[in-house]
A and B are shown apart, each in its own frame.
Chain A
């Protein structure tokens, strides 16, 4: 079955770095776009970043632009989020989510989602 499993979360000091991973299985990874979405404790959902199926296009929220980098390794069926210059306000559960269907179009809903990994930025 389709499965997304995030890892790499943890506690990091302000200004530090962390790399999240999202391992995918149960479908042809290389044909789907992917998103990262985060949720601060007790808050709503905030879209973070998107990468096209071939890595050819990437998009970022203004709040993370220049600090976070989304990437993928289609040979390993894995999505990544490199997070640098972390701030307290980056503390959240980070979810990876797949575009609902495969292909070029980035205008797709998110389905399914992984279970999330918690990132805590604190001194």
Chain B
């Protein structure tokens, strides 16, 4: 099983600031099979990024993904009030599909 480790656990930032979230995998993952999701309290997760760097339908361009091998990054260029949420990374190239433990982006 591929283990995904996200850092930091919590990110405290102000609206307008840049957020950088990291996800490290226990073995190399093909970037085509890597995603990021956003989850707000009481809501289902929502796909943000797939294929490591492709934005899902309707996702604003302030969200960007990058990385390869074992290190992947989600960047939010300028935080909007609606971006404060929990973010999960996921690999879907090899069963079992696995998620990171999440990074909470909170208002400072």
Q: Which of A46, A50, A97 contacts B95 (CB 8 A)?
A: A50
The answer for the CA separation of A12 and B32 in the assembled complex, in Å, is: 40
The answer for the CA separation of A44 and B101 in the assembled complex, in Å, is: 5
Shortest beta-carbon distance from B54 to chain A in Å: 9
Contact with A along B72-105 (1 / 0, CB 8 A): 0000000000000000101011011111111000
**CB atoms of A109 and B44 under 8 A apart:** no
**CB atoms of B35 and A109 under 8 A apart:** yes
Number of B interface residues, CB 8 Å?
Answer: 25
Known: A44-B100, A44-B102, A46-B99. A107 touches B47 (CB 8 A): no
**CB atoms of A107 and B45 under 8 A apart:** no
Interface residues of A in 53-107 (CB under 8 A from B): 59, 61-62, 95, 97, 100, 106-107
Q: What residues of B have a CB within 8 angstroms of the CB of A37 in the complex?
A: 45
The answer for the CA separation of A50 and B102 in the assembled complex, in Å, is: 22
Interface residues of B in 4-22 (CB under 8 A from A): none
The stretch that binds B, out of A13-21, A24-32, A112-120, is A112-120
The answer for the CA separation of A46 and B3 in the assembled complex, in Å, is: 12
The answer for the CA separation of A112 and B45 in the assembled complex, in Å, is: 9
The answer for the CA separation of A111 and B44 in the assembled complex, in Å, is: 11
Shortest beta-carbon distance from B8 to chain A in Å: 15
Most buried by B among A45, A50, A61, A107: A45
The answer for the CA separation of A97 and B39 in the assembled complex, in Å, is: 14
**CB atoms of B44 and A47 under 8 A apart:** no
Q: Which of B35, B45, B95, B99 contacts A59 (CB 8 A)?
A: B95
Shortest beta-carbon distance from B87 to chain A in Å: 11
Interface CB pairs A-B, < 8 A, 29: A35-B97, A37-B45, A44-B88, A44-B102, A45-B37, A45-B88, A45-B102, A47-B96, A47-B97, A47-B99, A95-B44, A95-B45, A97-B45, A100-B47, A107-B33, A108-B50, A109-B35, A109-B47, A109-B50, A109-B90, A110-B90, A111-B47, A111-B50, A112-B44, A112-B46, A112-B47, A113-B45, A114-B44, A115-B43
